[in-house]
A and B are shown apart, each in its own frame.
Chain A
């Protein structure tokens, strides 16, 4: 699938995500919008996966470590055929399997349970290490938030990945520059990430994480070391009044904002 087609799918995923947040009255809309283009490229171009056989041993792995943007993953999984598309309307409802953070035992396509931050990368290191030990050819991808990188467990895993020579592992940092309460810069500023990952022995690619033409080749890049994509993204990308506004971390649009958002994300734009 080509970048133009992927952009259309990403727009559809954003629309469905915004609709679900509006209807459920909750969600992490800002980070969902920043991550959607990368999720789309992964699920519709890069990952070797089978919706009919979600546990295939040789499947590529994707771990959404920033589990609070589960809704964007659910919408993507539904669009890709892992779960019924109409199930998105159950998001956060009593007994729905689609709760606020993804559950691997209930939702096909989810690899490990995330939610508390700093968990996905160590697990992804284990997945990549397992492939090295068994000779399996799958590639492991993991996406973290930039604020999430403040969790020390990530740096334990970054160090181990380099030590283990895991060139079958790609870390994507969704660098949207905002965390829950403030900007990364005003909180605990780990940026720039690139030099830190390089110092730990990783290959680093810096991209515009909302530009398909840059996302796809970065995800498909292979080398001799673990690979970190520092994806410079915009919180609330695609919706003008949300963009780069910290309060849209988990704010819910009102009726008027919802209509504006859908209009901006409409396919004719």
Chain B
């Protein structure tokens, strides 16, 4: 018999972002928001109504969006450059490389509606390449928070950090997983649940699915470790090596292509430091069919039950090697 429980409240992490941004804006007149006509989708309406002159809207022009952000930082301001992640990273990648990362501009890039948040709008609007594009750039922390608490903490940290940051947010509702008052530490994974049979690692909208998968595994008598790994670069080498050593198998899941993202970053560490069987879940190198983000995550084998089944197979591979 399954117990009847109230479903957890889901949060749109953009709300947590703008709540902190507006607080920072009140405290520090140097905080400015920069957008590409995306006032609504970036939820900057509140910021705009409070400080209309500090909302710099360059129009639908993403190369200029990022370049202007770099120039505002050069002029002593603290710009949060917001745009749909697919356009912010895809259209402006060279600006992110040259004007932001290589120039070490103190700009916070906020990729909104990342992953497959724009599900039904199709692959042009999916941002399932952005980890791969950004994590190869030196000097640019790449962060995908898992809930509203981590989002708020990461925005707070980014504002105080002197240098470029790419923060990858979704619009898909997620339950809160981290404790209130959580402090964000870049490059450090959070242990959400411990176990010794396998380690499940995710970030963004996948972390809560991993927790549900771990529940399913526990109901089958399998104890999984669950790590939330918001920072894709710099990757938490210590946590990955410990996971390999302690559990002997690592399964990753991400709202991103299986090529070049979180799973790849972890695999680079595993191969070099402590080879163990791995399974990387994500978008399998195709342009996704029509469907909502939640539908597509299920479609690509990232429903909690599918993740649990994949973990069981992985554990069998581990056993076969022993």
Contact = CB atoms under 8 A, between A and B. Distances in A.
Interface of A: 57, 61, 103-105, 111-116, 118-119, 121-131, 133-134, 136, 140, 152-153, 156-157, 159-160, 163
A156 B61 CA distance: 6
Nearest to B97: A116
B69 A115 contact: no
A133 B95 contact: no
B74 A160 contact: no
Given A153-B95, A160-B64, 12 more contacts: A104-B104, A114-B98, A115-B98, A119-B94, A122-B66, A123-B99, A125-B68, A126-B68, A126-B73, A136-B76, A157-B68, A160-B59
B67 A125 contact: yes
B295 interface: no
Given A122-B63, A156-B64, A160-B59, A112 B72 contact: no
Contacts of B68: 122-123, 125-126, 129, 157, 160
B222 interface: no
Dominant SS among interface residues on chain B = helix
A148 B74 CA distance: 23
B58 interface: yes
Contact of B71 (A57, A115, A123): A123
Contacts of B61: 156, 159-160
A123 B66 CA distance: 8
A129 B102 contact: no
A116 B98 contact: yes
Nearest to B53: A133
B231 to A, nearest CB: 23
A99 B103 CA distance: 14
Interface string B31-72: 010000000000000000000011010110101101111111
Contacts of A111: 74
Contact of B75 (A104, A119, A136): A136
Given A119-B95, A123-B99, A153 B64 contact: yes
B76 A57 contact: yes
A61 B59 contact: no
Q: Which of B54, B59, B68 gathers most chain A CB within 10 Å?
A: B68
Q: Which of A111, A114, A125, A140 gathers most chain B CB within 10 Å?
A: A125
Contact of A153 (B67, B73, B103): B67
B268 to A, nearest CB: 27
B98 A130 contact: no
B68 to A, nearest CB: 4
Contacts of B77: 130, 133-134
Q: Which of A104, A112, A128 gathers most chain B CB within 10 Å?
A: A112
A196 B79 CA distance: 31
Nearest to B95: A119
A131 B71 CA distance: 10
20 contacts: A57-B76, A61-B74, A104-B104, A113-B103, A116-B94, A119-B95, A122-B64, A125-B64, A125-B68, A126-B69, A126-B72, A126-B75, A129-B68, A130-B75, A133-B32, A134-B76, A153-B64, A156-B64, A160-B61, A160-B68
Contact of A126 (B71, B94, B104): B71
A119 B98 contact: yes
B153 interface: no
A112 B71 contact: yes
A121 B99 CA distance: 11
B105 interface: yes
Contacts of B59: 156, 159-160, 163
B159 to A, nearest CB: 17
Given A126-B68, A156-B63, A112 B58 contact: no
Contacts of A113: 98-99, 102-103
Listed from nearest, the 6 A-B pairs whose CB atoms lie closest are A126-B71, A130-B75, A122-B67, A156-B61, A156-B64, A126-B68
Interface string B77-115: 101000000000000001100110011110000000000
Contacts of A122: 63-64, 66-68, 70-71, 95, 99
B71 A130 contact: yes
Interface in B237-286: none
Contacts of A124: 71
Contacts of A127: 71-72, 74-75
A140 B74 CA distance: 11
Nearest to A57: B76
B73 to A, nearest CB: 8
Contacts of B75: 126-127, 129-131, 133-134, 136
Nearest to B77: A130
B74 A126 contact: yes
A125 B95 contact: no
A157 B103 contact: no
Contacts of B74: 61, 111-112, 123, 126-127, 130
